[in-house]
């Protein structure tokens, strides 16, 4: 089957060669024979969908396909099984070229997804330099009590109960009760799980110290 010039140019511009890929199969089976395609639903966290697919097929290569309106978390690219991430539009337009390049050990990332990756790289740089902080998104705060929102903001900033008490003048029992209620509400067991839950639900935004504006493109932590 002939591949169009447009598709050839697409894969040239949006692939990185990964020689010695663990999924290059010996014998009769090829990568595309083993490939599992995960079509992510915009109404669910695609991180959760990828994790569920990996749990069901732990030894299979995974092609993640995102609806064009689906927000992209770049860190799903770090999953061992994920061999490429493309939009549904690109998969339809360039299917054969994408399959051919996957077989050769290339990682393909649709151009619409490049900007979130660049944003995440910048966030990691700021985080390493101690210049990046996190807080709850305002729309999430409106679903919580004032105490719950205050406590979560300070937990995200790295404060423990004693430090929150000094900053907010809440009694330790008040702080611990607020945390316990949220753990029960979301079916969680401890503060670490609560922090991970907030990021996975995309309820957190990042900002630079001294900057009052926030970045809504904060990537979820896996």
Number of domains in the chain: 2
Question: Hey, what are 196's tokens?
Answer: 């991970």
Residue 146 pLDDT exceeds 90: yes
Query: How confident is the model over 44-56, as a mean pLDDT?
Result: 82
Same domain, 138 and 105: no
Position 27 confidence tier, pLDDT thresholds 50, 70, 90:
very low
Q: Which domain holds residue 141?
A: 131-208
71 compared with 67, residue with greater pLDDT: 67
Q: Is residue 217 part of a domain?
A: no
Same domain, yes or no: 17 and 93:
yes
pLDDT greater than 80 at residue 170? yes
Domain boundary residue, one of 83, 118, 153: 118
Q: Where does a domain end: 118, 142, 161?
A: 118
Query: Domain check: are 105 and 21 in the same one?
Result: yes
pTM above 0.75, yes or no: no
Same domain, 139 and 35: no
C-alpha to C-alpha distance for 155 and 10, rounded to whole angstroms? 44
Task: Report the distance separating Cα 169 and Cα 162, nearest Å.
Answer: 10
Of the three residues 67, 93, 118, the one that is the final residue of a domain is 118
Q: Which long-range contacts (CB under 8 A, 24 or more apart) does 53-56 make?
A: 54/79, 54/81
Count of H-run helices and E-run strands, the chain: 11, 7
Query: Is 87 within the bounds of a domain?
Result: yes
- Model pLDDT, residue 177: 93
CATH of the domain at 139: 1.10.10.10
Answer with the residue of higher pLDDT: 29 or 46.
46
State whether 83 and 159 are in the same domain. Answer: no
DSSP annotation of 3: P
pLDDT(216) > 70? no
Q: With bands split at pLDDT 50, 70 and 90, how would you rate the model's confidence at 218?
A: very low
């Amino acid at each position: 089957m002939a591949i169009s010039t447009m598709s050839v140019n697409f894969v040239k511009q949006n692939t990185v060669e990964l020689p010695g890929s663990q999924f290059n199969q010996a014998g009769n089976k090829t990568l595309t024979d083993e490939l599992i395609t995960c079509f992510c639903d915009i109404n669910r966290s695609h991180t959760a969908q990828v994790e569920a697919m990996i749990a069901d097929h732990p030894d299979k290569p995974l092609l993640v396909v995102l609806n064009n309106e689906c927000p992209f978390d770049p860190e799903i690219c770090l999953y061992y099984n994920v061999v490429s991430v493309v939009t549904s539009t690109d998969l339809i337009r360039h299917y054969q070229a994408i399959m051919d390049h996957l077989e050769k050990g290339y990682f393909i990332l649709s151009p619409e997804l490049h900007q979130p990756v660049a944003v995440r790289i910048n966030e990691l740089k700021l985080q390493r330099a101690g210049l990046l902080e996190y807080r709850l998104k305002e729309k999430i705060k409106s679903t919580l009590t004032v105490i719950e929102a205050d406590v979560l903001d300070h937990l995200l900033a790295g404060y423990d109960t004693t430090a929150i008490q000094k900053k907010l003048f809440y009694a330790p029992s008040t702080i611990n009760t607020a945390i316990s209620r949220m753990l029960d509400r979301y079916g969680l067991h401890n503060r670490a799980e609560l922090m991970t839950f907030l990021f996975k639900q995309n309820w957190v935004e990042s900002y630079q110290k001294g900057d009052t504006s926030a970045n809504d493109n904060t990537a979820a932590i896996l």
